[in-house]
Each structure stands twice: as C-alpha cells, then as structure tokens.
A and B are shown apart, each in its own frame.
Chain A
Amino acid sequence: MKRLYILMALLALSLTSITSFAQVPFAQLEQRMGTPTLAPMLEQATPAVVNISVEGVRVTRQRIPDAFRHFFGQQEQTREQPFQGLGSGVIIDAQEGYVVTNNHVVEGASDITVTLNDGRTFSATILGTDPESDIALLKLDEPSNLKELPLANSDELRVGDFAIAIGNPFGLGQTVTSGIVSALGRGGFAGGRLENYIQTDAAINRGNSGGALVDLNGRLIGINTAILGSTGNIGIGFAIPSNMMKNLVDQILEFGEVRRGILGVRGRDLDQQLADALGIDRTQGAWVSEVIQDSAAQQAGLQAGDVIVSINGTQLHSMTELAAKVGAAGAGREVRLGIIRDGRELSLNVKLSEAETTVTAATMHPALRGATLQNNGGNGLRVTGIEVKSPAEQIGLAEGDVIVAVNRRPVNSVTELRSLLERSKGVTALTITRGNRQLYLLLPN
C-alpha cells in the first residue's frame, strides 16, 4: 500500500514534470481558463513598444525647367511644408533609452514625442538614421523605468512560425495583431534599397511602421516597415529582421551613421536551370557572374562562377538577400561566406569594404547647396560634385576638396558634419584640403 502511495506520488511528480515539459512546445501560448492565449506574453512585451508622434517641416525642392530660368534665376524653388506624423517604435535598451523605428517615421522631424503604453511621454532625439534600410535610432531624454524587448535570432525563423505585430495603427492606440511568417528574404521592391524583409500576414497598417514583430516568447524578430496594397492591409506586410536592425543600430551607435558594407560582386539568383548547368544539387543561393576589381570579394579570393550559399552559417536565398545582409553587416566587418566552387564546398572570410554613399549637402546647410559629399574613408569628407553657380560654388568649394574640420573641430563622417553644422552659431569656418594645400572657407549664416 505504502509503496503504491509512493509510486503514485512519483507518478504524479513525473506527470507534473511532463506537464511542464509538454508545455514547452506551447511555451508562451499559455493556458488561461483552459484556453491558449498570448496575453501573458503580451503583458511583458507591449510596454516596450511605443507610440511616436513627430512634427517638423519638410523641404520639397522643385527644379525650375531651363526655359524659365531666365525669369526665376538659377535658384531651385523650395517649398517648406509643416507636417505631423505618427508611428511606432521599439525600446531595445531600457537603460540608455534607445528606441528603434523606421527612418520614414522620423525623417525631417524637428520634434519627436514618444508615448509609452502606460501614458508617460518622453521627448527624443535622433542618434542616426539609414534611409536605405529605413532604420532610425532615437534616444529618449532622461529615460527611467523602461522595459526593453529582448532580440530573437531572426536567422532562425522559418516560414510558418507565428508572428505577432504590436504597434499604433491609424493612431488608434496600441494594437496587437497575429499571423505567421509568410516568407523570408523578400526584397526587390525598390531598387537600390536594402531589402531583406520578413513577410507576414499579421495585419499591419499605417501607424504600425517602426513597431515590433515578435515571436511567441515576446522576443523581437522584426521592425514592421511596409505593406503591399494601397488601401490598407491585405495580409502582406513586411518587417526588417531583428538581426539586420541590430547590425545597423550597432553601427549608428559606434559611428553615428551606417557605414554600409560592400562585397563587390555581380550576379543573379541561383535556380534549377543554373544549378543543372553547374552540376550542383541545390537551387537557392547567389551566383557570382563577376568579381569587381580590387573589391573585398577579390581580395578574399572569390571567383566568377562561385555560388554563395550561406553567410555566417545562415542559408542564403537570393542575391537581394546577400546585398542586404552584406550592406547591413557594415564596412570593416568580416563575414564568413559558404561557397560552392566546381562542386566543392568551401568557406571564405571576407572583410567588407565601405560602400560609397553620396549625400546632398544642401540638407545640412543652405550655403552648401549644390555640393554632393561622400565619406572619405574616415578621413574627412570628399566633395564629389559641385553645381555650376550654386551657393556651394559661390563660397569657393570645388570638386575634389576634402572637408576636414568645422570650426577647427575634425569631421570624418557625414553624420559628424551634420551635427557640427547644426550646433554652429553665427559664421561657420570649414577647413578644406585641396591637393596639398589647406584653406578655410566661410559659410554665411
């Protein structure tokens, strides 16, 4: 009898352990009143998703057609339009008050207010943005008592995994919608942009931008960014994977800007026909048709005809995905590429070089209008173009000049230049290197 008692108790114990074991697959799909629910997970996650409201002035420029220049002069016509906007954001560092959102939510904003779901409001400043990937990093003023979202490894996602979107659609207030991962590595919608989206059928609408896509454990898997469909949600939404976001945010924190990495290859997606021709037994990857001279790829030993099948151990689906992952990894970073060459698998480490990004200087200072700038490998900023009779030419700036300092403070990146110009009061002095000469140029206020 006693033994039976113990046996039963043991059985009960083992069963309870089975219970917890059995519930593991349903980790956060907890049972409440016998019904699976996301509520406990969401109670943890939603405080980390914020509403963002912005105000500012957007400058739209209109080039005057040649025929009318005679009447209006050379100046471009600019129109300043005040705007207000709404979006969402995700707290990724509660201590520092870092909030990640979409660039298009905060672009041009002079005034950013972040509202938590407990009603508290903070003003925020932009630490850095990356229009090409549509990521922006904000910092809350005097952060306290915040909750952050832990990050999931978005490379481990599979089509069919649950995905829950948290955001502020139409400014209605915080809203949670659920769906699944519909596809991965989606891109190619807008040329020249870095796109490696997670596609989801969780309802995403205007105002959800910058909000969180989380897994069943309440970990961040993506930043909701875009939808297909002009009228609203049709079950096709896109989110920037958390790994890509993390890479970009790390760069913004380190350099104040995104220093996009570049591999230096051309090619196209692998498909069955190409795979048959190459005699390999897989159909997903990026086929290299050309390796650009003196590029990172060439230095690492990549060859035309190689098929890149993985990056840092994660399977690669397409050329677009490769470009997005390399771009987001950042200049100077090393990535490990899995390659198939002549039917053999090998692995190459590539130190990425920096992609050239050009900036129109007019967005920084009116007197620089007409100049285009580019990072000069961490040594000032190179002027890559000057429009004839533009304000930039009138102050004496010339193509090939390197801007090395503002008011004698060294400047090495576009972001540094922008913040120095913003802080500068009165007349601003630029230090320029032209050939082997150094000179000063004055920017009128």
Chain B
Amino acid sequence: MAKQHASLLTQYLIKPALLGFIVAALVLAVLPLVQQPTESSRVATASDLVSFADAVELAAPAVVNIYTTQSSHPNAHLQGPPTLRLGSGVIMNAKGFILTARHVVSNVDQIRVALQDGRVFGAQLIGSDSLTDLAVLRIAADNLAVIPRNDSYTPRVGDVVLAIGNPYNIGQTVTQGIISATGRNNPDNAYSEFIRMDAAINEGNSGGALVNSRGELVGINSGRYLSEQGEELTGISFSVAYHLAERVMEQIIAEGSVTRGYFGVEARHAFHPELNIPGVVIERIEPEGPAHLAGLRPGDFLVRINGVELKSLNQALDMVAATRPGTSIRIDFVRQQQYLTTEAVIQHLRVPEE
C-alpha cells in the first residue's frame, strides 16, 4: 500500500510537479526571448529577422544635415573662397530647436539645415557651450519630426546603439555599435558626461544622434577619440549623454549660454585615514579664488557642501558647477582632526574660448 502510494505519488504529484518545474524552467529560458520582442515591439519587424529598421524609421527623420560657410579668414589678407563645413544635428522639439556639436557651428557665418524630407532652412545659433561641445540652433519650420526620447532610459555598457548622421555628405547613414563605457570617461573633459561607443563615426557625423534599439535618443555624437599622436582612432567615439545635453540645451534656450560655478581648487577624492569617511582633499588653491577667500588651505579635507556628504569628486564638481555665481555655499571640512565650517562665495567659471 505504501509502495502503491509511492507510485501514486510519483504519478500524480511528483510527475506533474516535475513537469511543472520543467515548464517553469522552459518559461524562464524562453521568457527573455518571448518578452524581448513584445517589450521592444518596435524593434522586431514584421519580417522574420532581427532588425533595427523600426528604430531607424522613428529616429532618422529627426536627424538633420548641417552645412556651414565661413567666408572671412581671421587673417584678412588670407581671405579666399568661403570654407564649407559639414555636420549633423538633432531636432529636439516641434518649435524647431536643434542640438548639434559646438565645433560644427562655431566661428561660421552662415548655417543651413537640411531636413530628410528635402527642405532646407537657414538656422539661427541660439547659443553654445564649449565644455560639453554642444550648440543649440533654431529653424523656423512646421511639421518637424522630433527625436523620440525616454527619460527613464539609462544607458548601460553593452546596449546596442545606432549613430545617425551625414558622414562626408554622402547622405544620411546609420551605423551600429554598442555602448563601450558610460559616465565621465573622457580624461580630457571633467564636465561632460560621455557615452563611449564603437559605432563608426566620421567627419560630418558630429552633432548627429546616437539612439538605442527603440530609436530613443542616447546622446549627441561628438567625435572620435584622438590618440596622443593626434590620430583619430576607429572604434572609439564619444557622444554627449542625452540627459546632460538636454540640461545644457534648456539653459542655452533660457539664457543663451551655460553658467557654471567656480570654486578655485584642485582636488582629489579620498578617504580620511583616521576618520575613515569619504571626502575631497584640496591639493592646490587658486589665489584670490572662492576657496582661498573662504580661508581654505591645501590639505583640508572637505566632508560636506551645504550639508550634503561628498562621495566623489564629480559630485563636488557638479554641485559647485550648478551653483549660481555670487551665491555662497557652506563647507564642512576637517583640518588636523578638527571639524570646521566655512562659507565660500562661488564665482563664475571662465572657459577659454577658442
């Protein structure tokens, strides 16, 4: 009886249970595959192949070709025919605001924007920011295709990205790669948050869009990485992160430029050896700068700005940069194992213009 019971158990309980497990395992194994097309249904096509065609269809019309002319040479006696330059841009809203790379439109006389539907417009330069290499243009046009955006999208290393632009003016081109790194990964630029990626970028791609496999804006393409010898390397390109680009654009539209606060120190992130807390150690101080005027000295260990604990150098940099010049900030710091507090009046960050 007991034995029969056992076999009954096998038949009616264990077997279905086992099957259940198998099914569950199958569901688990299959789910990523099942869900991927539904989650990102716009990525999968009606045909039976994986393709980014739908993403391209959504994003590509919002990427424009930019043509600039520069008629006057800085040296008057070297004046010749106007130089033509090439770039790309991204239509950010229906009002005609376009984000592009600053180096595409700096020091030019005339900017023309060609849409993918064949229309061409003269564009007005609203403002630019050299630290992020971004510029905002405006065209007076109706019926504009606007780049799709998703504020909840966070770029991750390994995400598939598509670069859309007009390399060498051969016409709109889409190239594919993955995100190679996120965050502040460009050693030459502490203020700009870059998406590093391996999609092919060439002259004329600058200012164009980097989108994900749903066609949503990931960044504004900036350029290729230059080696120490000045060679452009293939497979390492930078794109200014979309969130940063949008913030910069909003400030440029509101004020014509980006204002950043300046504190006047060189510093590094560190852990205090005795107190074992994170913070920022001042290494050098700008004479007559805000930190100097506040009485700070090299070696001081900054713990908090306006009550917020400093966990990284970038955080400190961002907090200072985001502070309006003329405003004071409260700084808690440690000097020779003594907690001290001071107030510093933030100045305007001056950026050498090229």
The chain A residues found within 8 Å of chain B, CB to CB, are 1-2, 4-5, 8-9, 11-12, 15-16, 18-19, 22-27, 29, 156, 158-162, 179-183, 186, 199, 201, 215-217, 228, 233-236, 270-275, 283
Contact = CB atoms under 8 A, between A and B. Distances in A.
B118 A270 contact: yes
A160 B50 contact: no
Interface stretch (B25-33, B84-92, B279-287, B319-327): B25-33
Contacts of A275: 118
Contacts of A158: 45, 51, 53, 56-57
Interface stretch (B101-109, B125-133, B169-177): B169-177
Mostly helix, strand, loop or mixed at chain A's interface?
mixed
Contact of B23 (A8, A22, A159): A8
B28 to A, nearest CB: 11
Contacts of B201: 235
Contact of B48 (A5, A18, A25): A25
B12 A228 contact: no
Mostly helix, strand, loop or mixed at chain B's interface?
mixed
A275 B16 CA distance: 66
A298 B278 CA distance: 82
Contact of B53 (A1, A160, A201, A235): A160
B26 A201 contact: no
B15 A5 contact: yes
B79 interface: no
A272 B26 contact: no
B56 A159 contact: yes
30 contacts: A5-B19, A8-B23, A9-B19, A15-B30, A19-B26, A22-B34, A23-B33, A25-B37, A25-B45, A26-B33, A156-B47, A158-B51, A158-B53, A159-B60, A159-B174, A160-B51, A160-B56, A160-B162, A162-B50, A183-B172, A199-B173, A201-B174, A228-B170, A235-B201, A235-B202, A236-B173, A271-B118, A271-B119, A272-B115, A272-B117
Interface in B315-344: none
B54 interface: yes
Interface of B: 12-13, 15-16, 19-20, 22-23, 26-27, 30, 33-34, 37, 44-45, 47-57, 60, 115, 117-120, 162, 167-168, 170-176, 199-202, 234
A16 B12 contact: no
Nearest to A6: B16
Given A5-B15, A161-B53, A199-B173, 7 more contacts: A8-B20, A22-B30, A158-B53, A271-B119, A272-B115, A273-B118, A273-B120
B51 A11 contact: no
Contacts of B53: 158-161
A9 B22 CA distance: 10
